[in-house]
């Protein structure tokens, strides 16, 4: 009996130790996961900042395009070019394993804002 109790106690102690080791490993895994999340989020933040700077550069160029269009009486929108750009960016998105629908929505949103800017530029030139 006593031997069986010792074996049970040994199993219990062994089980508890194992549980503690797993718990410590889980803490270490959680800590590593949190560190990795911070690292990944830092990279995401850098990419977000780069996107903002790229968009700012793009809008500087499109502002010049809008001024040129307004000065020469050209319409703010160019549906043929926009269609070509959408098709081109959809292909790029596919090559980059990005959802082409998302890429199209993103470009459409940007182009709508550009057209709005071009319309505003044209209105100020007419005034």
Would you write out the chain's pLDDT as a tens digit for each of its 127 residues? 455 445 445 555 555 555 455 566 777 888 999 999 999 999 999 999 999 999 999 999 999 999 999 999 999 999 999 999 999 999 999 999 999 999 999 999 999 999 999 999 999 988 7
pLDDT of residue 91: 98
CA dist., res. 103 & res. 92, Å (int): 9
Q: What is the pLDDT of residue 21?
A: 56
Q: Are 63 and 121 in contact (CB under 8 A)?
A: yes
- Per the rule left: phi > 0, alpha: psi between -120 and 50, beta: everything else, 97 is left
- Give the C-alpha separation, 47 to 37, whole Å: 15
Where in the sequence is the domain holding 102, given as residue range(s)?
Answer: 2-126
Looking at residue 71, what is its pLDDT? 96
SS3 97: coil
- CATH number of the domain at 64, please: 1.20.59.10
- Tokens 């903002």 locate to 52
Report the distance separating Cα 61 and Cα 78, nearest Å: 16
Q: How many domains does the chain have?
A: 1
């Amino acid at each position: 009996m006593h031997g069986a109790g010792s074996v049970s106690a040994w199993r219990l102690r062994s089980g508890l130790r194992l549980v503690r080791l797993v718990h410590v490993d889980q803490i270490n895994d959680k800590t590593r996961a949190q560190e990795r999340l911070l690292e990944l989020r830092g990279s995401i933040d850098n990419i977000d900042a780069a996107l903002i700077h790229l968009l700012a550069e793009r809008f500087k160029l499109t502002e010049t395009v809008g001024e040129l269009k307004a000065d020469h009486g050209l319409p703010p929108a160019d549906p043929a070019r926009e269609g070509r750009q959408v098709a081109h960016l959809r292909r790029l998105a596919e090559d980059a394993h990005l959802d082409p629908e998302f890429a199209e929505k993103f470009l459409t949103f940007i182009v709508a804002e550009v057209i709005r800017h071009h319309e505003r530029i044209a209105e100020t030139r007419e005034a």
